[in-house]
Structure 1
Amino acid sequence: MIGEDVPAIQREFLAMPSAALFLREAGTGETVRLAPDDTISLSSEHTGWEGIAVERQRLPGCAADGYMPWHLLSVQITPPERYEDAELGPVSLRAGDVIIRPAGVVTKAMWEGIPDVVNVAIDPAVLARVAAELPGGDPVTLDRSWFGPDPHARHLAMALQDELAQPHAGRAGTLLADSVRTALAAHLLARHGRPIRVPRRRLLSEQDLARVRQRVDADLAGDLRLADLAAVVALSPFHFSRLFTATTGRTPHQFVLHRRIERAKELLRRPGVTVRQVARRTGFADAGHLARHFRRQVGTTPARYAAAVRRP
């Protein structure tokens, strides 16, 4: 929730900055670090997420003069006391507002205080692919830097941060990261880029849904990616995600979680199978990760469920 602190997680990668979030000097292209790495409390650097990078950082006041190699979205958890852009002048920022900086656009700005921000960088190639998949294949051209409220962009960025704050962040969160990355790219194009025609809505067939379900069930313990599921029905990840959600009422990520919990219930009915073994065989990072989602969907813990269904 906006303003809440992320729980401290003692993991080695948390203080590691992502190369995608480095500032580059306008003249030389050399890397510029605006603050020490210990200002970073969360980082996706070693999660294996592709085409997107996420950090949460408290960045002390300073001046920035350079560009980002990827498109940058910054959610202001706690905004700076004062922010001034060289082109726009003083900018008023409130908690929850976002700053959007297109890739390659030189940023000259200064701020005071110690703002707490969630930075999300997206590879321009991701926006190019999403734009090319839309009718007309409009070129990827975001508008100039933008400041202010954008509830949907903020929601997607915070979903990534919340996933990153979990102890299982990494492989187990790849499908969610893929889904959010695609949704965020489409949103940036639609709201902050050139006008894009919305494709005519249709639904997946029963045969398509059956093939997706078979693919999911065959690899519940594996690293399921949005692109893998889309490939089953010969669709792009963007179109697949939209059509799957329209057809089933669930996002691909929600569907995979549901199937994993259903498989976990089957395994928990077997005598002698431990919760840890069930977690490993259903794609959860550990027993705690399984328990959190199991309680949310079933209403009880895996251990209590097993004790109830194994009674004579």
Structure 2
Amino acid sequence: MPSVARDWTPEEFVTTVGDAIGSAPERRSHGALGPVEACRWLHPAAHETPVAAMDAHFVAVTLGAPVNVACRIEGERERSAVLRPGGVTVVPAGRRVDWRIGGPMTVLNLFLPGPWARGLRSEGGPDGKRLRPMLGGADPHVERLGLLVLDLIQAPEPDPVYGEALAVALLARLSSGRAAGTAAPAGLSRTALRRSLDHMQAHLEEPLTLADLAAAAGLSPFHFARGFRSATGQPPHRALIGLRIARAKALLADPRAPVAEVAMRAGFAGPTSLAHAFRREVGMTPTAYRAACGVPRAGYG
């Protein structure tokens, strides 16, 4: 059983709890959600594990079969529940927890860092101080966001702009008790929208983040993401993908350009990422698109 120390980081949580239960996470986010950490974890057997306080909000979405769980969160009475698929568990930052897990459990764990959450709050975003403890609660919005996070961290080449936007929406939902965006947000000004789109276009080859785009518009990530969607009808990551696909189409018109080079110059992580996006957005592979456009074969890949 791990020793109890104050102020664990998410990395210490993963390492120490992993040692205690004899299991490492099956998947981790590795930057796919910006500063937010996420992992898919199979707990192979029943266990009792104390977890020290962290400067991070802890959120879990149960993925596998129902399991009996009890916990004592610092400052709260002991809770117990049957955690069913989709059940949501929340431990606000700064609380020690003693867990009793009744059997094998598959779960998605998310760690929303305190500094990141406080930064959003200082810019008028969601107030993480309003999070309340929960054990296996039902919240379809959080469940849906959690499953989108799971899809993202299991993708071969995840989009960090999309990832951080999911994390912001998750914190907003948990903080407000209602879905982020229930009240219609004001759209971006023409100037802010143009600056963000110009920044996307000028830096398509780079691994852009939500914070990069928000800074170009002169807004916080929270307000930028909501305002961009209100102004354009789509989230920032969809607009970014659209611009990258448009550049890829233009580059594919050159029969001498290898697909790997097209992918790099259009901002995709590689040919596989380009092919996946192309099939989803255009309905065919880059090579098939070239053929359909009558681009002569000249040794392109």
> TM-score, normalising length from structure 2?
0.84
Shift of 1:48: 6.8
Could you tell me which residue of structure 2 aligns to residue 112 of structure 1? Answer: 102
Amino acid at match of 1:293: A
Shift of 1:105: 1.5
Residue 256 of structure 2 corresponds to residue 272 of structure 1: yes
Amino acid at match of 1:164: I
Amino acid at match of 2:64: T
Question: Alignment partner of 2:254: what SS?
Answer: coil
Could you tell me which residue of structure 2 aligns to residue 27 of structure 1? Answer: none
Residue 125 of structure 2 corresponds to residue 140 of structure 1: no
Contact kept in structure 2, 1:174 and 1:225, CA below 8 Å: yes
Shift of 1:307: 1.4
Amino acid at match of 1:162: D
Match of 1:91 among 70, 78, 81: 81
Question: Alignment partner of 1:167: what SS?
Answer: coil
Deviations 1:52-73 (A, max 9, x none): 1111111121012233412111
Could you tell me which residue of structure 2 aligns to residue 127 of structure 1? Answer: 117
Shift of 1:94: 1.2
* C-alpha distance in structure 2 between counterparts of 1:141 and 1:207, whole Å: 33
Could you tell me which residue of structure 1 aligns to residue 3 of structure 2? Answer: none
Deviations 1:233-257 (A, max 9, x none): 2111100100000110110011101
Q: Where do 5+ consecutive residues of structure 1 fail to align?
A: 1-17, 25-29
Match of 2:219 among 225, 235, 239: 235
Identity across matched positions, percent: 30
Would you say how many aligned residue pairs link Structure 1 and Structure 2? 281
Match of 1:153 among 113, 135, 142: 142
Match of 1:74 among 57, 60, 65: 60
* C-alpha distance in structure 1 between counterparts of 2:174 and 2:208, whole Å: 25
Shift of 1:286: 1.4
Contact kept in structure 2, 1:41 and 1:57, CA below 8 Å: yes
Could you tell me which residue of structure 2 aligns to residue 178 of structure 1? Answer: 164
Could you tell me which residue of structure 2 aligns to residue 299 of structure 1? Answer: 283
Could you tell me which residue of structure 2 aligns to residue 289 of structure 1? Answer: 273
* C-alpha distance in structure 2 between counterparts of 1:205 and 1:272, whole Å: 41
Shift of 1:200: 7.3
Amino acid at match of 2:133: R
